[in-house]
Chains A and B, each alone.
Chain A
């Protein structure tokens, strides 16, 4: 009986293989990248040598070609090489340097003010019920007002001098910092706070070991928004009665239809933004080591 079964069962699969088409199957083997490591990494480097800068570089090259051919007029969009040489000329003439310093100074002072207010109110609002009642309503209202819409009001209130510019940048930086920090502190896992209390940790321990590190990812999101909005505020503020700074450079260039100078200003604004973003990225990498992050293949 058993012999019979053993003898007959192996037969059907071979039959099936011959008649029916093979079913799709997956075979997984160790990737051979490790074996030919030097060649493999080189090949991967060559496939995307520019990484995330692929598209920007392609745009620049196409742009340069179009201006060389004459499709784009220099008054509309001067060639990237022209923008670079204009920047060098402006720097050598001693115009760009001081303007850049003034702008960065404004951004730094405004950012420092906005972040201080945002962090202090965010911490108070996050930790205390009374803090929430004091600040949350105002912050939510301010959040709905576009940065650019308060500019005319700030001009009326604070004049057309430095104060308006700094306050506008501070406004742009402070509101997102408050909102993100508040949400981050309130969002810390309640079960972890409960656990920490049961271990006998005091309030100070709970704040420094649970609440603050737990709120750190949200704080960094807030910082990223703050930096972006502060640069937006900088641009808006510098269009008002500027007699120095990057905004002045742009407004003046616009008046004389010097498009290349306008582009120099824009490029520097974008570089400021990129530097700010990179700064937060580095902070994240250092401070959030505990968090295994998602890496795209």
Chain B
């Protein structure tokens, strides 16, 4: 145990989580957890409700501080929350420019909105948007700052199944344009397989098994390899006996 505070960064890109501990009222939520996310890698954190997924994400976002261990993340990072969290009193464009400075802020926001297929909706009030549209605005708000790390906290959980599939396509498309590491938290096995480079299963405050997913988009929807990964994930989650 070194007492000297270790603040110097050890790597230039990605995420480094070492032996992180987080307790709430003595209850250990994260128990010496390790996680590494590479540059431009999309890691899906899969686990049941209450396993500490969101706690880990909040730590990476800097919204919370660990009780032990070390976390290293890029300073340029953005979060997409489960709820859209749009400011209802600002029009869509102003919601996207919230964190931007400089004369080209509006221009960049318009570009980000067109990337999520919302060009022309800049002047709408958030209350006039559908759930999928609002979540896409939230996505644009995260992308517009060109972050090196994007944290997604069950961003599509409150959307209907059809909209969710469209959002998955959109995320894949955005990954081609934006070069950022991503951490997506979800409890949806199909969503994990649809999007991940690597799926890590979380249980009792630690990272359990990891599964690398190297499939073509079509194979992610239906293939033998997909079913094998799915079965393995369900086994990790303790649901194997039901299938």
Contacts and interface: CB of A to CB of B under 8 A. Distances in A.
Interface residues of B, number: 22
Interface string B78-111: 1101010101111000100011000000000000
A183 interface: no
Contacts of B78: 198-199
Interface residues of A, number: 20
A290 B89 contact: yes
Contacts of A216: 89
Given A194-B63, A198-B63, A199-B78, A213 B90 contact: yes
B212 interface: no
B88 A290 contact: yes
A194 to B, nearest CB: 6
B99 A191 contact: no
Among B62, B81, B85, B141, which residue has the most Cβ atoms of chain A within 10 A?
B85
Contacts of A195: 79, 81, 85
Given A198-B63, A198-B78, A192 B87 contact: yes
B83 A209 contact: no
Contacts of B63: 194, 198
Given A191-B81, A196-B98, A290 B125 contact: yes
B97 to A, nearest CB: 9
B89 A201 contact: no
Given A196-B87, A199-B145, A291-B88, 10 more contacts: A191-B81, A196-B99, A198-B62, A198-B78, A199-B142, A201-B99, A214-B89, A289-B125, A290-B127, A291-B127
A290 B95 CA distance: 13
B85 A209 contact: no
Interface string A191-215: 1101110111100010001100110
B61 interface: yes
A289 B89 CA distance: 8
Given A191-B83, A290-B127, A292-B127, A199 B99 contact: yes
Given A198-B78, A200-B145, A290-B127, A210 B87 contact: yes
Given A192-B85, A201-B99, A290-B125, A209 B90 contact: yes
A198 B61 CA distance: 8
24 contacts: A191-B83, A192-B85, A192-B87, A195-B81, A196-B87, A198-B62, A198-B63, A198-B78, A199-B78, A199-B99, A199-B141, A199-B145, A200-B99, A201-B99, A209-B87, A209-B94, A213-B87, A213-B90, A214-B87, A289-B125, A290-B88, A290-B125, A290-B126, A290-B127
Contact of B79 (A198, A205, A289): A198
Interface string A276-297: 0000000000001111100000
Contacts of B79: 195, 198
A128 to B, nearest CB: 22
Nearest to B126: A290
Nearest to A191: B85
Among B62, B89, B90, which residue has the most Cβ atoms of chain A within 10 A?
B89
B144 to A, nearest CB: 9
B199 to A, nearest CB: 25
Among A195, A214, A288, A290, which residue has the most Cβ atoms of chain B within 10 A?
A195
Contacts of A290: 88-90, 125-127
Contacts of A192: 85, 87
Contacts of B90: 209, 213, 290
A199 B94 CA distance: 13
